[in-house]
Amino acid sequence: MELPLEVTFRGMDHSDALEAKIRDRAEKLERYYHKIMSCRVVVEAPHKHHHKGKIFHVSLDVTVPGKELVVNRDPGENHAHEDAYVAIRDAFEAMERKLEAYANKTRGEVKAHQEEGYARIGALHPGLDFGMLQSIDGRMIYFHRNSLKNGDFDQLQEGDEVRFLEEMGDEGPQAVVVRVIGEEHPER
């Protein structure tokens, strides 16, 4: 990013672990659009007068040339957002979708609604930056490290479940977007 990342905590103490997770996710945003100029993230704890569990609110503001993209959803009663890591994950996934759509629009691409496939990691070759997915119909589908949109390629294991979007490559089918299912947040 051209400008530094700004992270703000409201209604709660600063957390080095949360900030590290935010920085990691922010760096990965450039996979979706490489001309990000700035990124501001606000993590807000609920007011102390709430009687139920604390539901965290995370907002993101990303500036790209000619546009400002914002994710600022009210978490409502989503109890999954009682975990700040889940609230951060959901906010960044929403921003990733916005950046991907913006990148497609700037390239003049029309989004073709494509059905995601389900697969398991069938083979990994970390030294060569690729792996193979085994789809539910038994096909082996190539994927590159850069196709992984969540998770850490070096932490993948054979058998991990994924969702993927497929294209025909020069040498056969390849997954162009791979998302790990059920990625857990790190221990706090």
**pLDDT score at 109:** 59
Domain check: are 102 and 128 in the same one? no
Domain check: are 90 and 136 in the same one? no
CATH of the domain at 130: 2.40.50.140
Residue type (1 letter), 172: G
112 is a domain residue: no
What is the Cα–Cα distance from 149 to 96, expressed in whole angstroms?
Answer: 9
Token representation of residue 182: 């059920």
Mean pLDDT of the region 154-168 = 89
174 is a domain residue: yes
pLDDT 10s digits, 111-134: 455 678 889 999 999 889 899 999
> Which of 106, 137, 159 is where one domain is finished?
106
Mean pLDDT of the region 5-18 = 92
> Which of 62, 81, 106 is where one domain is finished?
106
pLDDT above 90 covers a percentage of the chain that reads 35
CATH of the domain at 16: 3.30.160.100
3 state SS of 64: strand
Reported in sequence order, the residue ranges of the chain that DSSP labels E, i.e. its strands, are: 5-10, 38-44, 57-64, 67-71, 117-125, 130-135, 140-144, 161-169, 172-180
> How sure is the predictor about 161, in pLDDT bands with cuts at 50, 70 and 90?
very high
Per the listing, tokens 């294209």 go with 167
What residue numbers bound the domain in which 146 lies? 117-180
> How sure is the predictor about 136, in pLDDT bands with cuts at 50, 70 and 90?
confident
